[in-house]
Structure 1
Amino acid sequence: MTQWFTESFRAEYAKQEAELGRVNIAVFGKTGVGKSTLVNAIFGEPVAATGIGAPVTNGSHLYLDKRGSLGVIDTRGLELGRDDDQIIKELTKAVKESRGKPIEEQIHVAWYCVRGMDRRFEDFEERFVRTLAALGLPVVLVLTQVPMREGQYHPDAVELARQLSARDLPIVDGHPFMTYAMRDQFTGQPPYGLVEVLGATFRVAPEAVQAALVAAQEVDLQLKASQSNKAVAAAVTAAAAAAAVPIPFSSAAMLVPIQLSMMARIAQLHGLGLDKSALLAIASTSVATSAGRAAAAGLLKFVPGAGSVVGGVINASVASSLTLAMGQAWLVVCQRAFNKTLPVLDGKLDTAAVTRLFESEMAKRMPKIRHRDKDA
């Protein structure tokens, strides 16, 4: 049974990975403004510093570095302020060519980075930002390395932001985003502004790649939870539809693919690898099995006083309620895995503790299901 579950989960995981796709962010700015630091801080790994990726088009100095559901487009060998015309030419070609490709091959959002303490924004930079916008790319303007004290931004950065606003640039939300990407070990300056940059990017990214962005980022757990709850809601709706005509035990296994798909999606959104996700899924639940009776009984054993249901059929109310409880409990497991707070035993994941966590989270939600069943 474990082998069947693992194989089924792997299949759903691969399916969800393909559906997730990839979000591609083009990152521009002068050399030394902290582009790589910003990208790495938001996406949690040295994306922008590992290799140069592949050219976006033949002979291009624009390179796409792919990491799972994230693609970062950067320039190599060219520098803003010196090679503007060349970069604009190549970018224009890349954007136009990408529009005929699948959505995951297109450029979705541009970040333009300016060091907040530079005190100046040059005319060629304005031209570049306006060119990005004219190509149909939403532009998030980011002021990097801006010191903050007692909630107040450095006056030099505030003045630069004022100058930028006066230029009436075609940028997301009409203003630059102040950031400090990494904690300064010498001054103790903490990072800030990353969630705001991510939120602006999420709002303007095409809906088809928003989930990919959520999966790739590592700074906003609430955004992951929000998208995960959408996956749970979709599974609940599908489960209710499947059980619109009450399901006998012999047909209850039809709910299992719905629940596995939900679990795989939530694992993807939390950036959990296949092996870890499968291990967690096996440890968390034995309810998804190939045998309809085992699947139904495994779910319904958590429901106080549900003997009458066990003795007959699964109706739409029970199917949707159980799927909801299962999804919410699985979300807690994935959040704990993302935060690295799951119990460990002898250096390995304590699967027994994970099982107890999942069952405990499901049990918290069972009274709601019992109440609905009584009212039916």
Structure 2
Amino acid sequence: MPDWFTDAFRTEYERQLELLGRFNLALFGKTGVGKSTLVNAVFGAPVAATGIGEPVTRDSHLYLDDRGQLGLLDTRGLEIGRDDRQLLKELESYVRRMRREPVEAQIHVVWYCVRGMDRRFEPFEAEFVRRLDALDLPVIMVLTQVPRDAAGRLHPDAVALAQHITDLGLPIVDGHPYLTYALEDPFSGQSSYGLTALLEATFRGAPAAVHAALTAAQQIDHRRKAAQARRFIAGTAAGAAATGATPIPFSDATVLVPLQLAMMARISQLYQVPVDRAALMAVASTTVATQAGRASVTGLLKLIPGAGSVAGGAIGAAVASSFTYAMGEAWLAVVERAAAGALRRLDGVLDPDQVRSVFLTELRRRVPGLREP
């Protein structure tokens, strides 16, 4: 694969990052309730390391940490219950200012965290939640570090606290708290739970415009990633059909190159595969796809009734669409394995031969008549 491909892939990778946008999560709660542990569990460590981020304005106690598709708004040096007035003043000023910005600059969801075994929820905390709602911020109430026994029964004190908060009728997403235990503890035998339910609530609270960014940022629901990837693959295949161009990837079909690059880069972004690794995988995959496509283009025509015939280097829309769709599914299989750490490494670098093998195997599953390159 020529050098231009790697450069073009990197450019498209950055463009897809911009197109996905950013999901911004604000975190509130008393010190020590486990906010960082919770965020790390859902979005992948170590996104919530101590001391990260930049103040949103000069002398502000609100800090925004921008990490690709995830933005975290947290506080430093102010305590809920002690500095509520100052904190709310800064937050209200920030919200007013950001309302004039694009959607990716907004605060999309608030997680208000309470340690489940503290057994109390203060009146000032309830008032703080109401003030957040008055700023049109969707608030999800999270009880953290709630233990459960071997039978799956939640600690009764935390259940009672959750019921008490529910009875207050606070303006929170779904009307009740979400009970969680973020980090598995082998010593005590406590397993992690509640994160998927919390993530689902976060999707319900967030505007649809940032669901793609949230899907990419979260690291616990790969079914959502795959579903969004397949929607993009289907859209790319439809675009390929509209061009009616040669389906062989990255050959002389210049009209298809941007479509196929965008498809591969977007899927890489959804699974947060680093650009260097994604580019290496893309080179290995598309090399074998190009070779196989050139070897099998006549056979491809026979597989799809009504596809037409080769004429002037162009092939019917059905073949272009089908090959692009198969290529997208094969690329998705490679990326899923990479994200799961299931691809072999040689001296710390992914083995390109294995990448090519996985890609070709998946491609041939979807194009049964494909000849070996």
Q: Which residue of 2 aligns with 1:224?
A: 225
Give 1:247 shift. Answer: 5.7
Deviating runs (4+, > 6 A) in structure 1?
A: 248-251, 307-310
Between 149-158 and 265-274, report the one with greater CA deviation. Answer: 149-158
Q: Which amino acid aligns with 2:324?
A: T
Cα distance in 2 for residues equivalent to 1:229 and 1:203? 21
Q: Which residue of 2 aligns with 1:258?
A: 259
Cα distance in 2 for residues equivalent to 1:79 and 1:71? 21
Give 1:329 shift. Answer: 0.9
Q: 1:295 to 1:332 in 2, by over 3 A?
A: closer
Between 330-339 and 311-320, report the one with greater CA deviation. Answer: 311-320
Q: Which residue of 1 aligns with 2:278?
A: 277
SS of equivalent residue, structure 1 residue 74 = strand
Checking the alignment, whether the CA contact within 8 Å between 2:24 and 2:71 is kept in structure 1 is yes
Q: Which residue of 2 aligns with 1:330?
A: 331
Q: Which amino acid aligns with 1:122?
A: E
SS of equivalent residue, structure 2 residue 281 = helix
Q: Which residue of 2 aligns with 1:195?
A: 196
Q: TM-score, normalising length from structure 1?
A: 0.90
Give 1:253 shift. Answer: 2.9
Q: Which amino acid aligns with 2:242?
A: A
Give 1:16 shift. Answer: 0.4
Q: Which amino acid aligns with 2:129?
A: V
Q: TM-score, normalising length from structure 2?
A: 0.91
Unaligned runs of 5+ in 1: 370-376
Cα distance in 2 for residues equivalent to 1:146 and 1:80? 21
Aligned pairs for 1:1-376 (under 5 A) are 1-149=1-149, 150-243=151-244, 252-286=253-287, 297=294, 300=297, 303=300, 305=302, 311-312=310-311, 313-367=314-368
Between 57-66 and 74-83, report the one with greater CA deviation. Answer: 57-66
SS of equivalent residue, structure 1 residue 107 = coil
Checking the alignment, whether the CA contact within 8 Å between 1:228 and 1:331 is kept in structure 2 is yes
SS of equivalent residue, structure 1 residue 120 = coil
Query: Over residues 25-54 of structure 1, what are the superposed CA-to-partner deviations in whole Å (9 max), with x where a residue is unaligned?
Result: 100001111011101111112222243311
Give 1:344 shift. Answer: 2.2
Cα distance in 2 for residues equivalent to 1:247 and 1:364? 21
Cα distance in 1 for residues equivalent to 2:335 and 2:289? 17
Query: Over residues 153-200 of structure 1, what are the superposed CA-to-partner deviations in whole Å (9 max), with x where a residue is unaligned?
Result: 111111111111101111111111111010113212111111221221
Give 1:252 shift. Answer: 2.9
Checking the alignment, whether the CA contact within 8 Å between 2:116 and 2:158 is kept in structure 1 is yes
Give 1:130 shift. Answer: 1.1
Give 1:346 shift. Answer: 4.2
Checking the alignment, whether the CA contact within 8 Å between 1:51 and 1:65 is kept in structure 2 is no
Q: Which amino acid aligns with 1:256?
A: V
Q: Which amino acid aligns with 1:183?
A: E
Q: Which amino acid aligns with 2:142?
A: V
